[in-house]
Amino acid sequence: MKKIVLLLVSCLLLAGMPVVAQDSIDNQNVAQLEATTNEAESETYVEEVQPAEVVEADATDPDLEVGERLAKFWHDTGLYQFGEDWRYILMICIACLLFYLAIGRKFEPLLLLPIAFGMLLTNLPGADMFHEAIFAGGHVHWDLLKGADASITPGLLDWLYLGVKLGIYPCLIFIGVGAMTDFGPLIANPKSLILGAAAQFGIFATYFGAVAMGFLPNEAASIGIIGGADGPTSIFLTSRLAPELLGPIAVAAYSYMALVPVIQPPIMRLLTTKKERAIQMKQLRSVTKREKIIFPIVVTIIVALLLPSAAPLIGCLMLGNLLKESGVTERLNKTVQNELMNIVTIFLGITVGATATATTFLTFKTLGILLLGIIAFGFGSGMGVLIAKFMNLFLKEKINPLIGSAGVSAVPMAARVSQTVGQEENPGNFLLMHAMGPNVAGVIGSAVAAGFLLNMLG
């Protein structure tokens, strides 16, 4: 019996061993699989997390961040950009020279000083106050002003320059000039209108000379207008015909206007004799108020009908004069002569100076403009004197040829020069009022000449 029981127990034990072994194997496989999975997940976690930890460490590196910021700061400074183009430094030196002429020598300071400051601003690298690309080709690229090009952010001077480009500032200046002008000497002595017209000869003589030197006709016309010694007219015409030359031409025009007391006397003495310079002229007749009121109206109608292109300048000039002579718009007259004139002069000067960039101003073309400009000015002054001498061949009452040089538009400086040179020969000679006739006639003449050139070439 015992043997049977032992046999049964042995059979049961043998039957249970494979089950236990299989369970043990399965448990071991599961443990290995779990270990492998955990190891793979651990490796994946390391691969995903480790780069983020490295990047974070780089981004928070204080030495690297400070170095990059300092490098960016240095590259953005104007000092760094000076090294890219040395011409910036030369243009700043030229601006400082104009400051000296305006402040130290008092040469046309009201306009020369703002022009110099505009030149300074536009040539400070990195300031980006004026962009030539916006006005390239003589046109206003409105899409660039609206931000079409992300690399160009319009600056203050870009917006202010629209007043020049659209012909607003020169016309507003002419309103002020008209309000400060007395046409009485011209009305009292109509012959002086011929002298004012004769002085415009320099404009057309220089035009043909500039064409012969290789300038395009529109450029030659803009250079020739310097001979009229009328800054606003030069700006008005150049902004329409050759805007890329506006900076050099404006600087030349106002510089030569300021140098009238230096340039004109030698020419006047060369073309006249001592006897001619000593000629005394009778006092002018008094002009009635009615004549002074009718004159600007009649001139505006005649010039606008014959030469519509000159209407903006002549119309504004005569409007300003009528505000003065009418006697019924005293408030407007004072505003035009003072507040309006001063504000527009600042805007005009700064924006004209801004066009004198290093790339535009420092060229052989600029040297040619400066040379031709002084030739135009000299021709205009000399031709006025010669025409006055020619008129004396037919006049019973002789005129002093010195007043012919005042036919250029530098009001009233040219008239004062005639007075000064005349008194050197005859202390009792008073030519100022006589010279004012050709002087104000020159203002009309230069505006008419500009309208003619604009009509022919515009």
**Which tens digits make up the pLDDT trace of 316-373?**
999 999 999 999 999 999 999 999 999 999 999 999 899 888 888 888 888 889 899 8
What helix, strand, coil percent values describe the chain, rounded to 5?
80, 0, 20
Residues in contact with 410: Cβ distance below 8 Å, sequence separation at least 6, in sequence order: 229, 230, 257, 260, 439
Name the residue with higher pLDDT: 31 or 175. 175
Look up tokens 């106050």; give the residue: 129
Residues in contact with 259: Cβ distance below 8 Å, sequence separation at least 6, in sequence order: 107
pLDDT score recorded for residue 100: 94
Could you tell me the pLDDT band of residue 6, with boundaries at 50, 70 and 90? very low
Could you tell me the pLDDT band of residue 419, with boundaries at 50, 70 and 90? very high
Name the residue with higher pLDDT: 153 or 385. 385
Angle between helices 341-354 and 231-241 (to 10 degrees): 50
User: End-to-end distance of the chain based on CA atoms, in angstroms?
Assistant: 139
Confirm if 417 and 429 have CB atoms less than 8 A apart. no
Task: Select from 72, 73, 85 the least CA-distant residue to 125.
Answer: 85
Phi, psi of 416 (to 5 degrees): -65, -35
Where in the chain are the domains? Answer: 170-336+366-457
Residues in contact with 122: Cβ distance below 8 Å, sequence separation at least 6, in sequence order: 129, 130, 157, 353, 354, 355, 356, 357
**pLDDT tops 60 at residue 30:** no
For 183-231, the pLDDT digits (tens) are: 999 999 999 999 999 988 889 989 998 999 899 999 999 999 988 878 8
Task: Select from 450, 445, 420, 433 the least CA-distant residue to 182.
Answer: 433
pLDDT score recorded for residue 56: 45
pLDDT score recorded for residue 83: 63
**pLDDT tops 80 at residue 271:** yes
**pLDDT tops 80 at residue 37:** no
